[in-house]
Amino acid sequence: MGGVRAGGLMRVLAVRTVLPEHRYEQRQITEAVAGSVRTDERLLERLHSATQVSGRNLALPIEDYLGLDGFTAANDTYIATALDLTERAVRQALDGAGLDPAEVDHLVFCSSTGVATPSLDAALAQRVGLREDVRRLPVFGLGCAAGAAGLSRVHDYLLAWPEQVAVLVCVELCSLTVQRDDASIANLVGSGLFGDGAAAVVAAGDRRTVPVRRPGGPGRGPRIVATGSRLYPGTERLMGWNVGEHGFRIVLAADLVDHVEATLARDVTAFLRRHGLSPEEITSWVCHPGGPKVIDTIAEAFGLGDGELDLTWESLRKAGNLSSVSVLNVLEETIARRPRPPGSPGVLMALGPGFSAEMALLRW
């Protein structure tokens, strides 16, 4: 398993998630999709209901999506909205960490639902007031796995520069990728499952002095002590985009869950074994809410019960699958509501295009 390394003690200081202001119940979204995509309405309702998503926040008012007449309009909306959401997320996370923008040394920016050159992190850095010598790393194409992968890359950086501060930003506007001329099962499922949002993580190396936590605020997050990656050759058909003049057309294979079921427990167990742990010793599971079947597969693979994935389920039901943002949203809620005793081990993981798995070993 590539990418496994221990020894650094990256500290998560704050995580903040920001959602767009346009909130809709799932039935409203189903009705809107039925009015724009030519398909069997009963099939659409069944697919949307199966996601178990109760509602989502969208980048635009729902009636404005009919005005997006092509990829250019959708991508322009992505750029403007993504910058607004990420600016709010970074400012809130820095405030939660008790740090100023000028103290940030490294910025990692992940997204897979829009494109821009210069990359959006350049504009974001100037909006927030980061230093002109801030080091930037834009990452595209990791999809749902990017939240976990981004944390791993921040960990790698702070392992080399333990006296510094890094910020991870993820933003996904999945609603802008829904295709109105595509009645495929993948597009219909995507229109009912994926949501919009942004998240920011502020982290520091183990030699960085950080402010005392503000009274009444959420506690510090865990330390990330090791990371792991797993790429499955020949599985690129399972998840991703078909990119063309239409923009991003979703690829979502029906047998994706079969692959997760066949490989995940083995690979996560091997990752933990490298660090002297077993799944039974893990006290917190911070898992990306890929969908009901994926969450059920994770629970079954590791024998999880007693509400151990409640926050993952809650994130899915309230906001949908936010792609790279989701696992960070679950991490934020875990820090605020489910802290563990000092020294307790945890696992953070997400799955994404490649097909791939990204993991991090946590210590509270």
**pLDDT digit string, tens, across residues 103-130:** 999 999 999 999 999 999 999 999 999 9
Q: Are strands 284-287 and 345-352 parallel, antiparallel or unpaired?
A: parallel
Which residue ranges of the chain lie beneath pLDDT 50?
2-7, 216
Tens of pLDDT, residues 230-284: 988 888 888 888 787 788 888 878 888 888 878 888 999 999 999 999 999 999 9
Of residues 205, 9, 16, the one with CA closest to residue 103: 205
Residue position matching structure tokens 């829904």: 178
Helical residues (DSSP H) of 98-170, grouped into ranges:
120-128, 146-160
The structure tokens listed for 295 are: 């969450």
Q: Which of 144, 170, 174, 287 is catalytic?
A: 144
Whether residue 355 is preceded by a cis peptide bond, meaning omega within 30 degrees of 0, is yes
Are the CB atoms for 285 and 222 separated by under 8 Å? no
Q: Answer yes or no: are the C-beta atoms of 165 and 103 closer than 8 Å.
A: yes
Write down the pTM of the prediction.
0.93
Burial class (CB in 10 A: 0-12, 13-18, 19+), 337: exposed
| pLDDT recorded at residue 4 | 42
The per-residue pLDDT for 17 is: 98
Distances (CA, A) of 75 to 53, 172, 276, 289, 347: 25, 12, 46, 25, 35
Query: Would you call 144 a catalytic residue per the annotation?
Result: yes
Q: Where are the alpha helices (DSSP H) in 274-345?
A: 292-302, 310-319, 326-337
Token code pair at residue 233 = 């050759």
